[in-house]
Amino acid sequence: MSQIDRTLAEAARAWPFEEARKLLKRIDGKTPAKGYVLLETGYGPSGLPHIGTFGEVVRTTMVRQAFRRLSDVPSRLFCFSDDMDGLRKVPDNVPNKEMLAQHLGKPLTAVPDPFGSEHGSFGTANNARLRAFLDSFGFEYEFQSATDWYKSGRFDHMLLAMLRHYDEVQAVMLPTLGEERRATYSIFLPISPKTGRVLQVPIIKVDASAGTIAYRDEDGSLVETPVTGGNVKLQWKADWAGRWYALDVDYEMYGKDLIPSAELSARIVRILGARPPDGFNYELFLDEEGKKISKSKGNGLSVEEWLRYAPPESLALYMQQQPRRAKRLYFDVIPRAVDDYLAAVEKLPAEPAERVMENPAWHIHDGAPADHHAAGVTFGMLLNLASVAHTENKDVLWQYLRRYVPGATPENAPYLDRLLSGAVAYYQDFVKAAKKFRLPTATERAALRDLADTLRALPEDSTAEFIQNEVYEAGKRHFAQAELRQWFKTLYEVLLGSEQGPRMGAFIKLYGRDNVVRLIERALAGEDLGRAA
Residue 28 CA to residue 30 CA, distance in Å, equals: 5
* Percentage of residues of the chain with pLDDT beyond 70: 98
In a domain, 517, yes or no: yes
Task: Report whether pLDDT(350) > 80.
Answer: yes
Q: For 75-112, what is the HEC assignment?
A: EEEEEEECCCCECCCCCCCCCCHHHHHCCCCCEHHHCC
Helix then strand count (H, E) for the chain reads 23, 12
Q: Which of 145, 166, 197 is the endpoint of a domain? A: 145
DSSP state of 353: G
Q: Which of 410, 434, 458 is the endpoint of a domain? A: 434
In a domain, 370, yes or no: no
User: β-strands 327-328, 285-286: how paired?
Assistant: parallel
Closest CA to 134 of 85, 78, 173: 78
Angular region, 526: left φ>0, alpha ψ -120 to 50, beta rest: left
In a domain, 158, yes or no: no
Q: Are residues 468 and 506 in the same domain?
A: yes
Query: How many domains would you assign to the chain?
Result: 4
Q: Are residues 135 and 61 in the same domain?
A: yes
Element (H, E) at 421: helix 414-426
Element (H, E) at 183: helix 179-184
Global pTM reads 0.92
Residue 41 near residue 58, CB atoms below 8 Å: no
In a domain, 308, yes or no: yes
Closest CA to 360 of 319, 419, 310, 311: 319
Element (H, E) at 506: helix 504-511
Q: Are residues 59 and 119 in the same domain?
A: yes
* Percentage of residues of the chain with pLDDT beyond 90: 81
pLDDT at 119: 87
Which residue(s) pair with 328 in the sheet?
Answer: 286
Map residue 418 onto helix, strand or coil: helix
- How would residue 292 be classed by pLDDT, with cut points 50, 70 and 90? confident
Q: Which of 434, 454, 479 is the endpoint of a domain? A: 434
Residue 106 CA to residue 147 CA, distance in Å, equals: 12
pLDDT at 216: 97
Map residue 307 onto helix, strand or coil: helix
User: What average pLDDT score do residues 401-409 get?
Assistant: 89
In a domain, 223, yes or no: no
Please give the residue range of the domain that contains residue 468: 442-524
Q: Are residues 114 and 94 in the same domain?
A: yes
- How would residue 5 be classed by pLDDT, with cut points 50, 70 and 90? confident
In a domain, 200, yes or no: no
Produce one character per residue of 302-328: b if its CB has 16 or more CB atoms within 10 Å, e if not. bbeebeebbbbbbbbbbbbeebeeeeb
User: What average pLDDT score do residues 428-453 get?
Assistant: 94
Backbone angles phi, psi at 427, to 5 degrees: -60, -45
Residue 279 CA to residue 284 CA, distance in Å, equals: 16
pLDDT at 116: 82
Task: Report whether pLDDT(240) > 70.
Answer: yes
pLDDT at 533: 58
Residue 299 near residue 330, CB atoms below 8 Å: no
Q: Are residues 31 and 7 in the same domain?
A: yes
Map residue 223 onto helix, strand or coil: strand
Q: Are residues 4 and 124 in the same domain?
A: yes
Residue 346 CA to residue 87 CA, distance in Å, equals: 47
77-87 per-position pLDDT tens digit: 999 999 999 99
In a domain, 339, yes or no: yes
Backbone angles phi, psi at 50, to 5 degrees: -130, -175
For the chain, the straight-line distance linking the first and the last C-alpha, in angstroms and rounded, comes to 58
Q: Are residues 427 and 450 in the same domain?
A: no
User: β-strands 232-234, 222-226: how paired?
Assistant: unpaired
Q: Are residues 20 and 132 in the same domain?
A: yes
C-alpha distances (whole Å) from 307 to each of 111, 286, 314, 382 are 31, 19, 9, 16
Residue 332 CA to residue 318 CA, distance in Å, equals: 13
- How would residue 391 be classed by pLDDT, with cut points 50, 70 and 90? confident
User: β-strands 37-43, 75-81: how paired?
Assistant: parallel
pLDDT at 18: 97
Map residue 271 onto helix, strand or coil: helix
DSSP state of 214: E
- How would residue 197 be classed by pLDDT, with cut points 50, 70 and 90? very high
Q: Are residues 430 and 453 in the same domain?
A: no
- How would residue 300 be classed by pLDDT, with cut points 50, 70 and 90? low
- How would residue 295 be classed by pLDDT, with cut points 50, 70 and 90? low
User: What average pLDDT score do residues 184-204 get?
Assistant: 97
Residue 160 CA to residue 163 CA, distance in Å, equals: 5
In a domain, 128, yes or no: yes
**Which CATH number does the domain housing residue 129 bear?**
3.40.50.620
Which range among 112-121, 142-151, 439-448, 508-517 shows the weakest confidence by mean pLDDT? 112-121
The mean of the pLDDT values for the chain is 93
pLDDT at 193: 96
DSSP state of 191: B
- How would residue 243 be classed by pLDDT, with cut points 50, 70 and 90? very high
The Cα angle at residue 198 between residues 196 and 204, in degrees rounded to 5: 110
Residue 277 near residue 328, CB atoms below 8 Å: no
- How would residue 91 be classed by pLDDT, with cut points 50, 70 and 90? confident
Task: Report whether pLDDT(296) > 80.
Answer: no
pLDDT at 1: 61
Residues 6+ apart with CB under 8 A from 355: none
Q: Are residues 82 and 38 in the same domain?
A: yes
Q: Are residues 107 and 69 in the same domain?
A: yes
One-letter amino acid identity for 335? P
Residue 244 CA to residue 251 CA, distance in Å, equals: 9
**Which CATH number does the domain housing residue 514 bear?**
1.10.10.350
Produce one character per residue of 410-449: b if its CB has 16 or more CB atoms within 10 Å, e if not. eeebebbbbbbbbbbbbbeeebbeeeeeeebeeebbebbb
Task: Report whether pLDDT(333) > 60.
Answer: yes
Q: Are residues 125 and 23 in the same domain?
A: yes
